């Protein structure tokens, strides 16, 4: 008893001082912490102050009687074990004691062994309740703080969820989930070989028919991220139509593309867009600028822009007329900022307002390469150039032309490819260019770096190393060509219908 009672306190309430002294002597042999009160009022005040685990009390006391005190104590300490020690044993007193949740009712004068046994039972009950609380708290922590999403279902309705569920969907309770997301039937997103609802079958019904089976699923969290989760549904024994549903997040394994590469790519682009919009909001909040990069026939055009509006689907940039002009021609651009981890490609332009100098963009993703990665100037040559290609000293059949050219490479278009041409093949390239009225000729061997097959022709990228004279000539040509393109770009009438032919 002493070992079990080491951390348990007891309050004894008795107006008979002689009896109080004797009982106190007995209690001191068992409990280290004992409180004494001489009437109901004192007992209640002591209980508020000391919060004892056990209370032994008489009933008939001056002022506040025992039952009045017990009722008040139970209001502040419902788990307190109350033992009545009274000379009254009328049935009405027993009914009142039961109604108040009294632990035991002993008749005076109680034998010491009887009181000790009752105290032992009270101490054991306190320990059991404490152990149950600890156990249930641990279960609650496991339920709430494990990485898995855990849900209890009744038929197809969520009735209990853990904290991980709330965090995943950004909600406070199930009611908010249904208000925000609607029917749980739409929770799982379509992905090849994954579980999701179809016109002929709901995903919950499929899982119920295959209890215990693991399913791949895709779910969007409150941040707009598409997550890959493994679903398992189990029934609850002896509870018809009740189930435990768990989701284990395995997104970091990067497995979704193995099932559906197109959907995974779209998900990644969607994730990029959410990140980009968040970063753009930071730029806007700090009154900073971004830079718009574009190319006209290889000529770099860069200007600053400010962000005027951002929503979930698009954002608006305000920039100078020069940049508006090139964007209207190409319908494409790249934007950069010091806080972007990569350059941002604007794959489509929703609208351009020349009067307000604004561009609305609704489709963006991070670029694999930076606009600053262009080490060499690469420009589209003028129309009066010539190009001849040779493989094993035999001229390529058909016509060839230069799409763009730099000191180290050229992108060429040719009507046909001779047999045996592939990436890595060495060919001879002869390009003639006009520089301020004189003809310059670039003749060199090069290696095919990339081949693009079109419907009627081929584009090939050739890497080469030029002689010092050729490098001097090509640098002079590119410098002069930039000036020509600047003049050409400035002269373009953006309202002319002929500009439909321009593309990037």
Has residue 90 got a pLDDT over 80? no
Domain ranges of the chain: 9-137, 149-259, 270-373, 386-490
CA 241: distance to chain centroid? Answer: 32
At residue 267, does pLDDT exceed 70?
no
DSSP strand pairing (289-296 vs 299-310):
antiparallel
* Fold entry, domain 270-373: Thrombin, subunit H (2.40.10)
pLDDT at 109: 84
Give mean pLDDT, residues 333-353: 86
Provide the token pair at 176. Answer: 């908010």
Q: Do 185 and 203 form a contact (C-beta atoms < 8 A)?
A: yes
CA-CA-CA-CA torsion for 378, 380, 385, 387, nearest 10 degrees?
A: 70
pLDDT score at 407: 93
The residue-averaged pLDDT of 183-188 equals 87
Q: Give me the DSSP letters along 197-253.
A: -BTTB-HHHHHHHTTT--EEEEEE-TTS-EEEEEEEEEEPTT-TTEEEEEEEE-GGG
Give me the architecture of the 9-137 domain, per CATH.
Answer: 3-Layer(aba) Sandwich (3.40)
Over residues 190-201, mean pLDDT: 90
CA atoms within a 13 Å half-sphere pointing along the CA-CB vector of 124: 6
- Cβ–Cβ under 8 Å, residues 417 and 442: no
pTM to 2 decimals?
0.49
**Residue closest to 419 by CA, chosen among 396, 436, 438:** 396
In this structure, what are the phi and psi dihedrals at residue 279, rounded to the nearest 5 degrees?
-65, -40
Residue 198 burial class via C-beta count within 10 angstroms: exposed 0-12, middle 13-18, buried 19 and up: exposed
CB-CB contact of 191 with 176 (8 Å): no
Read off the pLDDT of residues 142-170 as tens digits, 9 standing for 90 and up.
566 667 888 888 888 898 888 889 989 99
Cα 74-76-82 angle, rounded to 5 deg:
30
Q: Supply the DSSP symbol for 147.
A: S
The contacts of residue 218 (CB under 8 Å, 6+ apart) are 188, 189, 190, 191, 194, 196, 226, 227, 228, 229, 256, 263, 267
Distance CA 350, CA 130 (A): 64
- The region of weakest confidence among 92-106, 251-265, 448-462 is 251-265
Mean pLDDT of 448-463: 94
Element holding 350 (H helix, E strand): strand 344-353
In angstroms, rounded to a whole number, what is the distance separating the alpha carbons of residues 452 and 413? 9
Q: What is the pLDDT of residues 458-492, one digit of tens each?
A: 999 999 999 999 999 999 999 999 999 999 998 88
pLDDT for res 502: 35
Token pair 């604004």 in the structure block, residue: 358
- What number does CATH give the domain 149-259? 3.30.450.20
Q: Is pLDDT at 111 greater than 80 in this prediction?
A: yes
CATH topology of domain 386-490: Thrombin, subunit H (2.40.10)
What is the DSSP annotation of 3-54? TTTTT-EEEEE-S-HHHHHHHHHHHHTT-SEEEEESSHHHHHHHHHHH--SE
* pLDDT value at residue 500: 40
Q: Read out DSSP for 386-452?
A: EEEEEETTEEPSS-EEEEEE-SSEEEEEES---TT--TT-EEEEEEEEEETTEEEEEEEEEEEEEEE
Predicted confidence at residue 16, as pLDDT, reads 87
Residue pLDDT, tens place only, 362-399: 888 888 766 556 678 899 999 999 999 999 999 999 99
Q: What is the pLDDT of residue 141?
A: 63
Q: Averaged over 280-301, what is the pLDDT?
A: 88
DSSP-derived 3-state class of residue 314: coil
- Tokens at 200, concatenated: 């002929």
> pLDDT tens, 45-87?
999 999 999 999 999 898 899 999 999 999 999 999 999 998 8
Q: Do domains 270-373 and 386-490 have the same CATH topology?
A: yes
Could you write out the DSSP letters of every residue in 277-312? HHHHHHHHHTT-EEEEEEEETTEEEEEEEEEEEE-S
């Amino acid at each position: 008893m002493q070992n079990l009672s080491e951390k348990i306190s007891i309050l004894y309430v008795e107006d008979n001082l002689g009896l109080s002294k004797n009982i106190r002597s007995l209690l001191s042999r068992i409990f280290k912490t004992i409180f004494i009160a001489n009437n109901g009022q004192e007992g209640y005040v002591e209980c508020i102050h000391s919060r004892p685990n056990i209370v032994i009390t008489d009933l008939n006391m001056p002022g506040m009687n025992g039952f009045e005190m017990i009722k008040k104590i139970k209001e502040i300490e419902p788990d307190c074990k109350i033992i009545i020690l009274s000379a009254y044993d009328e049935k009405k007193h027993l009914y009142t004691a039961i109604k108040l949740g009294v632990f035991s009712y002993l008749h005076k004068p109680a034998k010491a062994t009887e009181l000790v046994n009752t105290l032992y039972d009270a101490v054991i009950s306190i320990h059991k309740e404490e152990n149950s609380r600890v156990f249930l708290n641990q279960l609650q922590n496991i339920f709430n703080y494990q990485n898995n999403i855990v849900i209890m279902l009744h038929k197809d309705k969520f009735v209990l969820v853990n904290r991980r569920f709330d965090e995943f969907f950004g909600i406070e309770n199930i009611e908010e989930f249904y208000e925000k997301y609607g029917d749980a039937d739409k929770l799982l997103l379509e992905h090849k070989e994954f579980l999701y609802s179809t016109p002929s079958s709901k995903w919950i019904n499929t899982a119920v028919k295959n209890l215990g089976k693991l399913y791949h699923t895709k779910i969007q969290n409150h941040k707009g991220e598409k997550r890959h989760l493994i679903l398992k549904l189990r029934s609850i024994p002896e509870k018809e139509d009740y189930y435990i549903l768990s989701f284990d997040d395995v997104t970091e394994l990067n497995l979704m593309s193995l099932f559906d590469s197109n959907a995974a790519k779209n998900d990644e682009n969607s994730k990029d867009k959410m990140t980009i919009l968040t970063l753009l909001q930071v730029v806007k909040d700090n009154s900073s600028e971004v830079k718009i990069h574009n190319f006209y026939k290889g000529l770099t055009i860069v200007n600053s822009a400010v962000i005027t509006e951002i929503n979930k689907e698009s954002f608006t940039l305000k920039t100078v007329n020069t940049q508006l002009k090139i964007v209207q021609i190409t319908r494409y651009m790249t934007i950069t900022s010091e806080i972007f981890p990569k350059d941002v490609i604007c794959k489509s332009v929703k609208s351009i307002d020349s009067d307000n100098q604004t561009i609305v963009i609704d489709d963006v993703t991070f670029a694999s390469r930076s606009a600053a990665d262009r080490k060499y100037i690469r420009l589209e040559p003028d129309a009066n150039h010539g190009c001849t290609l040779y493989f094993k000293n035999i001229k390529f059949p058909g016509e060839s032309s230069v799409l763009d050219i730099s000191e180290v490479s050229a992108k060429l278009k040719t009507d046909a490819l001779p047999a045996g041409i592939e990436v890595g093949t060495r060919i001879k390239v002869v390009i003639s260019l006009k520089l301020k009225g004189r003809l310059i000729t670039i003749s060199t061997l090069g290696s095919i770096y990339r081949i693009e097959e079109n419907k009627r022709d081929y584009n090939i990228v050739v890497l080469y190393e030029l002689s010092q004279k050729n490098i001097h000539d090509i640098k002079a040509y590119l410098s002069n060509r930039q000036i020509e393109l600047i003049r050409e770009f400035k002269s373009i009438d953006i309202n002319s219908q002929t500009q439909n032919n321009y593309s990037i």
